[in-house]
Amino acid sequence: PLALLNDPSLLKTDALINGQWVPGSSRFDVHDPATGLKLADVANLGPADAEAAIAAANAAWPAWRAKTGKERHAILLKWFHLLMAHQEDLGRIMTAEQGKPFAEAKGEVAYGASFVEWFAEEAKRVNGETLPQFDNNRRLMVMKQPIGVCAAITPWNFPLAMITRKVAPALAAGCTVVIKPAELTPLTALAAAELAVRAGIPAGVLNLLSADGDNSIAVGKVFCASDIVRHISFTGSTEVGRILMAQSAPTVKKMSLELGGNAPFIVFDDADLDSAVEGAMASKYRNAGQTCVCANRLYVQDGVYDAFVEKFAAKVKALKVGNGFTDGVNQGPLIEPAAVQKVQRHLADALAKGGRVVAGGTPLEGQFVEPTVVADATADMLCAREETFGPFAPVFRFKTEQEAIDAANNTEFGLASYFYSRDVGRIFRVSEALEYGMVGINAGVIATEHVPFGGVKQSGLGREGSHHGMDDYVELKYLCLGDI
């Protein structure tokens, strides 16, 4: 698929340190999850390269910080336009290495680019404050300054957007960055870095270290231990988030963490059922269920349970599984064999505990999984506690509003949640009661660049996107001016 790029020079396989493309002393393979075929071998960088990238970012920081917000705005905007001008090629690279359908991949390019556009605009609005004085001989001010060298570690499920959502606010604020993209999807990241170079982002301001699984762990340790790195932003599993937090304790690092979810999707008796089915489809089966905001547990009230299950199962059966480049396909392969096994484990466990398959459930070849719905799900099933991260939807039955709220909140996670209701009182009661960072009400897809994305409880720290998304990349400095 990569032979068809309009601009073949976007296919970068070396890493970027201080404006130089670095081949690394070893290489690792990147595969197409749809075919299992090798796509490229990529520079495999290790701890010494990480130290070099951090030093480059530190050296580049003073000049980047000294630019005005408007100057950084202009460069970032150029990057945004280049990302959009190469939407097709970036989408092609993404589908090839990640598997998501081509239309969805192009959608992610637009979504990923939108963070660059948004934070380019915000670069001009890093406003300080003046505060009322506590005696008339003084004046009090607060200024915002870039935090310094930032490290970003990103996952494979959104190979572009998870990078831009971290890097764009960091650069806009006047920070420099070192990025370690997921080992399964480095090609999209490297293409985006090439466009950053073309946009005129100076050498050392944006560095990108591709690394295999083992080196990712080693590079992560270097980031955490470094006194120069002031901030780490990570999106991925809660398990790795905990490791990074523990490793960062000795250097008291500031952190932004977007970790796992276990999203409830609740359908009340008074919901518009067709709209609820449509929302559930979008929330559950986007990216073949591989997003941290995908509905993981569907709770449907007794009175509409059977009708919902019937309509939902019919829609799920109509989904088309296959290679993301094939027309009409809306379910690509899962990212790796372990992801397929997790879905199979959740399905087998649900069936052993009384679940009833109403759509899918038949094993497929390779890394493809048939979109599956299991009715009569119960709280003792694995899928009630763990994030499946695949195209598997368990549907639980409930009777009262309180029962649904209690079940929804019965998890250590708190990222996205969804519910469908037309009752305004219920909408406020349930919105307030859900222990989640985000609530979709009569909406199954809620993320966009100008809203605060993030979780509570063990789903993470901080918010990405929106004007709040800049907060993690600036420090407040209080000035107290006396002898007026």
Which sequence positions are flagged as catalytic?
Answer: 258
If the CB atoms of residues 91 and 155 are measured against ligand ADP, the closer one turns out to be: 155
CB-CB contact of 13 with 43 (8 Å): yes
Min dist CB 378 to ligand ADP, Å, is 26
What is the b/e burial string over 437-449, where b = at least 16 CB atoms within 10 angstroms of the residue's CB?
bbbbbeebebbeb
Query: Binding of ligand ADP at residue 237 (CB under 6 A)?
Result: yes
For residue 43, give both structure tokens: 């520079």
**Residues β-bridged to residue 377:** 396
Distances (CA, A) of 66 to 62, 167, 397, 472, 475: 6, 18, 58, 19, 16
Q: Which of 390, 19, 30 is nearest to 188 (CA)?
A: 30
Min dist CB 217 to ligand ADP, Å, is 4
Indicate the burial class of 378 (C-beta count within 10 angstroms; 0-12, 13-18, 19 or more).
middle
If the CB atoms of residues 291 and 466 are measured against ligand ADP, the closer one turns out to be: 291
Q: Tell me how far apart the alpha carbons of residues 325 and 98 are, in angstroms, rounded to a whole number.
A: 12
Min dist CB 229 to ligand ADP, Å, is 13
Q: Give one word for 121, left, alpha or beta, with left for phi > 0 and alpha for psi -120 to 50.
A: alpha
Report the C-alpha dihedral over residues 405, 409, 410, 411, rounded to 10 degrees: 160
Query: Binding of ligand ADP at residue 187 (CB under 6 A)?
Result: no
Helices (H), 333-481: 337-352, 382-385, 401-409, 424-433
Place of tokens 């509905």: 295
Min dist CB 3 to ligand ADP, Å, is 27
| Chosen residue from 101, 236, 437, 460 binding ligand ADP by CB under 6 A | 236
Which residues in the 101-160 window bind ligand ADP by CB under 6 A? 153-156
DSSP code of 202?
A: P
| Chosen residue from 49, 117, 122, 183 binding ligand ADP by CB under 6 A | 183
If the CB atoms of residues 216 and 323 are measured against ligand ADP, the closer one turns out to be: 216
Min dist CB 237 to ligand ADP, Å, is 4
| Chosen residue from 162, 182, 196, 470 binding ligand ADP by CB under 6 A | 182
Min dist CB 35 to ligand ADP, Å, is 21
Residue nearest to ligand ADP (CB): 220
If the CB atoms of residues 411 and 421 are measured against ligand ADP, the closer one turns out to be: 411
x/- map, 406-445, ligand ADP, by CB under 6 A: ----------------------------------------
Which residues in the 201-230 window bind ligand ADP by CB under 6 A? 216-217, 220
Report the C-alpha dihedral over residues 308, 314, 315, 321, rounded to 10 degrees: 140
x/- map, 151-170, ligand ADP, by CB under 6 A: --xxxx--------------
If the CB atoms of residues 60 and 182 are measured against ligand ADP, the closer one turns out to be: 182
**Helical pair 47-66 and 213-225, crossing angle rounded to 10 deg:** 50
If the CB atoms of residues 115 and 156 are measured against ligand ADP, the closer one turns out to be: 156
If the CB atoms of residues 258 and 401 are measured against ligand ADP, the closer one turns out to be: 258
| Chosen residue from 240, 280, 281, 405 binding ligand ADP by CB under 6 A | 240
The count of chain residues that interact with ligand ADP, using the rule CB under 6 A, is 14
Min dist CB 234 to ligand ADP, Å, is 7
Residue 438, H or E segment: strand 438-441
Indicate the burial class of 81 (C-beta count within 10 angstroms; 0-12, 13-18, 19 or more).
middle
Q: Please give the residue ranges that form the binding site for ligand ADP (CB under 6 A).
A: 153-156, 180, 182-183, 216-217, 220, 236-237, 240, 243
